[in-house]
Amino acid sequence: EIVAAAEGLLGGGSKPLAGRRVLVTSGPTHEPIDPVRVLANRSSGRQGHAIAAAAARAGADVTLVSGPVAIADPAGVAVVRVETARQMLAAVEAALPADVAVFAAAVADWRVAEDASQKIKKGAGGPPLLALVENPDILATVARGANRPTLVVGFAAETENVVENAKAKLVRKAADFIVANDVSPAGGVMGGDDNTVHVVGPAGVESWPAMSKAAVAEALVARIAEVLGGAS
Amino acid sequence: EIVAAAEGLLGGGSKPLAGRRVLVTSGPTHEPIDPVRVLANRSSGRQGHAIAAAAARAGADVTLVSGPVAIADPAGVAVVRVETARQMLAAVEAALPADVAVFAAAVADWRVAEDASQKIKKGAGGPPLLALVENPDILATVARGANRPTLVVGFAAETENVVENAKAKLVRKAADFIVANDVSPAGGVMGGDDNTVHVVGPAGVESWPAMSKAAVAEALVARIAEVLGGAS
């Protein structure tokens, strides 16, 4: 009761997502090459985890599907841990239906066509040639699926043409919003505390100022509540 | 003084590696494919970090060269962080000379021939073919180098023919000892707390019982002190 009262005081008692189911993905995926090697994306999971935490604070019933990360589970969130893109898609589909889905994970676009059951040895034949196949597109699959959430938010980590790529992705993936950011190494976004995002929606592009990933999460959840409020 | 006294009581005041320089490598390496993707080895760094910590407790002057890990730096150790195999070799060579080198890192055998400066886009051309080239062999380079430490210890993470592979590696790499373990997924060694190792040396194979990675580290450091003691 004391905690609830304190939360009421701190948060102004505002629970704009009360009664809503929110699904968030976060972290990288690891695609096995053999038992000791993986193809991986760089992603700390900080932004996705912060969004899950912010949605829970806003009163939502939150499921977080996370790839391998080294950060703590957010409070008040059901966490499902996965490793590969295919496992992430299965966990996402199992967590539907939801009112909102936020796909913040850095899913590997490709996996190795056939991963080896034993460690590949360095041999006289030289390095192996890794034949890749495309992974399922989780965002597009859910956005075009029968169980489509009311609001589908994708992320786009780019190193060039950030806003143009995000606009094309919005249409191609049938998402409602794409949150795009520049992850060029010089920017320090990956693994860092801050983020500078462009929110691309049907009405155009909002370029938000640089802020902490926690602040981006709060602002994004507020924006989601606003859109859902109008839609309910 | 209280801490020193307690350490004296706990450790029996025994500093068998006092005055010795010990170099330890730990963790995986990450080989960039493009700014957001990497080829990586699975390795938590727990075993290598435990060895560095145990060597420091035994009185050695320890340098730990570590790939990207999510665990804390061991106490009383100089830590050099690297990402790729080539960076690890450069950091190792900069840390020589040493009396002992323990190569516990899971170094990627291969890297992508040319990593892309911008994020590779999913395109109509299908998945990229990753052409790999061999990384430098850090263990063999140091064991056969002009600055060779008195004692060179390698690791062999295998999923089959563990001892046979380790025996061949001992000769091929010119190491004094190879610590070999079975990292098949069913065993739970990778990322776990325990380890079951075979120590392959000139006099044969010692198969140690399953124990914690901390205990493996203590036993290995005791074995190193024993061999060095005889050699000095």
Q: Please check whether residue B33 is in contact with residue B114, taking contact to mean a CB–CB distance below 8 angstroms.
A: no
Spatial separation of the C-alpha atoms in residues B50 and B228, rounded to whole Å: 20
Residue B168 has a CB neighbour count (10 Å cut-off) of 14
Q: A151 has which bridge partners?
A: A100
pLDDT at position B8 is 47
- Inter-CA distances, B8 with B1, B14, B22, Å: 10, 8, 21
pLDDT at position A230 is 61
Q: Please check whether residue A195 is in contact with residue A210, taking contact to mean a CB–CB distance below 8 angstroms.
A: yes
Residue A70 has a CB neighbour count (10 Å cut-off) of 12
Percent of chain B with pLDDT over 90: 78
Token pair for residue B125? 């051309």
In CATH, what number does A15-120+129-231 get?
3.40.50.10300
Residues in A touching B185 (Cβ below 8 Å)? 35
Q: Does B159 touch chain A (CB under 8 A)?
A: yes
Check pLDDT > 60 for residue B212: yes
Check pLDDT > 90 for residue A6: no
pLDDT at position A123 is 75
Q: Please check whether residue A91 is in contact with residue A29, taking contact to mean a CB–CB distance below 8 angstroms.
A: no
Asked whether the bond before A97 is cis by omega within 30 degrees of 0, the reply is yes
pLDDT at position B128 is 83
What amino acid is encoded at A149 in this protein?
A: P
Q: Tell me the ipTM for this assembly.
A: 0.85
pLDDT at position A3 is 53
Average pLDDT over residues B117-137: 87
DSSP label at residue B96: -
Spatial separation of the C-alpha atoms in residues B189 and B144, rounded to whole Å: 30
pLDDT tens column, A127-163: 888 889 999 999 999 999 999 999 999 999 999 999 9
pLDDT at position B88 is 98
- CB proximity list for A218: less than 8 A, separation 6 or greater: A54
Average pLDDT over residues A1-27: 75
Phi, then psi, of A84 in degrees rounded to 5: -100, 170
Check pLDDT > 60 for residue B45: yes
Looking at A41, A135, A181, A195, which residue is catalytic?
Answer: A41
Percent of chain B with pLDDT over 70: 93
What amino acid is encoded at B120 in this protein?
A: I
pLDDT at position B127 is 86
Beta strands at A61-66 and A110-112: parallel, antiparallel or unpaired: unpaired
A-contacting residues in B 166-205 (Cβ below 8 Å): 183-185, 190
B93 membership: H or E segment, kind and range? helix B85-95
Residues in B touching A66 (Cβ below 8 Å)? none
pLDDT at position B78 is 98
B-contacting residues in A 1-30 (Cβ below 8 Å): 30
Nearest CA in chain A to B119: A159
Token pair for residue A118? 């034993």
Higher pLDDT, B143 or B125: B143
Check pLDDT > 50 for residue A202: yes
Least confident of A117-121, A215-219, B139-143: A117-121
Q: Which residue has the tokens 């609830």?
A: A4
Q: Please check whether residue A214 is in contact with residue A90, taking contact to mean a CB–CB distance below 8 angstroms.
A: no
Tally of helices (H runs) and strands (E runs) in chain B: 6, 14
To the nearest 10 degrees (0 to 180), the angle between helices B213-231 and B46-57 is 50
- CB proximity list for A105: less than 8 A, separation 6 or greater: A25, A26, A27, A28, A29, A43, A45, A48, A65, A66, A67, A88, A138, A155
Check pLDDT > 70 for residue B53: yes
The partner residue sitting opposite B106, judged by closest CB among A30, A36, A165, is: A36
Q: Which residue has the tokens 């994708």?
A: A154
Check pLDDT > 50 for residue A8: no
pLDDT tens column, A176-193: 999 999 988 888 888 888
pLDDT at position A231 is 53
Check pLDDT > 60 for residue B201: yes
Average pLDDT over residues B152-163: 94
pLDDT tens column, B164-190: 999 999 999 999 999 999 988 888 888
Residues in A touching B126 (Cβ below 8 Å)? 134
Token pair for residue B112? 């992508």
Token pair for residue A30? 């690891």
Higher pLDDT, A57 or A5: A57
Token pair for residue B138? 């850090």
pLDDT at position B209 is 94
Instruction: Classify A142 in phi/psi space as left (phi over 0), alpha (psi -120 to 50) or beta.
Output: alpha
- CB proximity list for B108: less than 8 A, separation 6 or greater: A37, B28, B29, B30, B31, B39, B40, B41, B84, B85, B135
Collapsed DSSP state (helix, strand, coil) of residue B32: strand
Tally of helices (H runs) and strands (E runs) in chain A: 6, 14
DSSP label at residue A20: -
Query: Per DSSP, which regions of chain A are E strands?
Result: 21-26, 30-34, 37-41, 61-66, 78-81, 100-103, 110-112, 132-134, 151-158, 177-182, 194-195, 197-201, 204-207, 211-212
Give which of A29, A31, A37 to mutate to test B binding, by max B Cβ within 10 Å: A37
Pick the CATH number of B2-114+151-231 from 3.40.50.800, 3.40.50.10300, 3.40.630.10, 3.40.50.720: 3.40.50.10300
- Inter-CA distances, B12 with B1, B5, B163, B221, B228, Å: 15, 10, 35, 16, 20
Check pLDDT > 90 for residue A83: yes
DSSP label at residue A118: S
Average pLDDT over residues A35-60: 96
A89 membership: H or E segment, kind and range? helix A85-95
Check pLDDT > 80 for residue A2: no
Confidence of residue A10 (pLDDT cuts 50, 70, 90): low
* Residue A161: active-site member: no
- CB proximity list for B149: less than 8 A, separation 6 or greater: B23, B96, B97, B98, B99, B100, B101, B142
Q: Does A130 touch chain B (CB under 8 A)?
A: yes
Average pLDDT over residues B96-117: 95
Average pLDDT over residues A18-34: 97
pLDDT at position A126 is 81
pLDDT tens column, A95-111: 999 999 999 999 999 99
Q: A179 has which bridge partners?
A: A155, A199
Residues in B touching A183 (Cβ below 8 Å)? 35-36, 119
B102 membership: H or E segment, kind and range? strand B100-103
